[in-house]
Amino acid sequence: MTKKHLLLFKYGGNAMTNQSLKKQVLKNICDLKEKGFQVVIVHGGGPFIKQTLDEVKIESKFIDGQRKTTLKAMEYVEMALKGKVNGSLISLINGMGHKAVGLSGKDGQMIIAKKRLHQQTINGKTEMVDLGQVGDVENVDVTLIKLLLENDFIPVITCLASDKNGNDFNINGDLFAGHIAGALSAEQYIILTDVDGLMLDKDNPASIIRELKLSEINHLKEIKCIQGGMIPKMDSCEIALEKGAKLARIINGTVPEQISALFENQKLGTIITA
C-alpha cells in the first residue's frame, strides 16, 4: 500500500466565526481526505475565548499580543476551545459522513507544555513578565495521532496542554500546530488565515510573495513586512519545516475553494520551503 500524503491544517480566526463558511472549509478539507490524503486539523479560537471570558466577566489583558491567562480564566479557555470550538467542528465533520475525533495536547501526552517566559522591553528596560497559564511546547509525541490516522479518523486538535506536573496551559495555536506538523513530517503544513498570503506591502494584494525560503524570513521581519499576527504564523512555519514538514503554505481560509485547489494550482498562497 502506498503511503498517504499527510496534510495538517491550522484553522482559526475569522474563518471560524461564520457558520456557513466553517461548513465550506471543513467540506473542502474532507474532500481532500476522500481523494486519499490523510488530514489533521489543529485549531485555536481567540474570538470564542474572548466571548466566553466576556460572558463570565473576566477581563482579558494582552501583553505584546499575548493574552495573560489566570488559573480562573484557564478553566473558561478550556471550556471555549474544547466545548464550543472543538465540539462544533467534530459535529460538522461527523455530519459529513467522516469520523472525527476531538483532542487537545493533553490527550495521550501528545504535547508536554512548559510555562512561557515573556520578555517585555519598556523604555529600553527589559524585564520578564508572567503571563500566567500561557505555555510553550516542550515535547511532542504523535503516537495517538498516527493511530487515529491509520484507522481512518480525522484528528481535530486544540492548543491546550499540560506540563510534567499536570498544570494546564494555553499555547499559541500557530506554534502548537507547527510543532505537530513537524513531528508528523507533514507533506504540507497549511495555515488558513484571512488574507491570500504574505504581502510585501500588506495594503497591496498584488505584492503577494508566492515563494519564500526559510533563510529570507528574518530579513522580512526586519523590514516590517512580517508583523502583527503574521509573526507567529511565520514562526510556526519555521518550526514545522525545521522539525520535518516538507512544505508550509499560507492560504486564505475565507475562500474555501483555495483548499480544494491546493493540488491543482501550485500558485496558491505563499509557499515556504527550507
Can you list the residues of the chain whose pLDDT is less than 50?
1
Q: What is the pLDDT of residues 21-37, one digit of tens each?
A: 999 999 999 999 999 99
Q: Is the pTM of this model over 0.75?
A: yes
Q: Are 44 and 81 in contact (CB under 8 A)?
A: yes
**Dihedral sign of CA atoms 26, 32, 34, 39 in order:** negative
Grid cell of 47 as nine digits: 474570538
Q: Which long-range contacts (CB under 8 A, 24 or more apart) does 143-148 make?
A: 143/108, 144/103, 144/107, 144/108, 144/110, 145/40, 145/110, 145/180, 145/184, 146/184, 148/101
CB contact burial 58-69 (16+ within 10 A = b; e otherwise): beeeeeeebbbb
- Helix (H, G, I), strand (E, B), or coil: what is residue 216? helix
Strands 270-273 vs 248-252: parallel, antiparallel or unpaired: antiparallel
CATH of the structural domain 6-273, one choice from 3.40.50.300, 3.40.1160.10, 3.60.21.10, 2.60.40.10: 3.40.1160.10
Q: What is the pLDDT of residue 236?
A: 97
Mind giving me the DSSP string for 155-172?
EEEESEEE-TTS-EEEE-
pLDDT of amino acid 266? 66
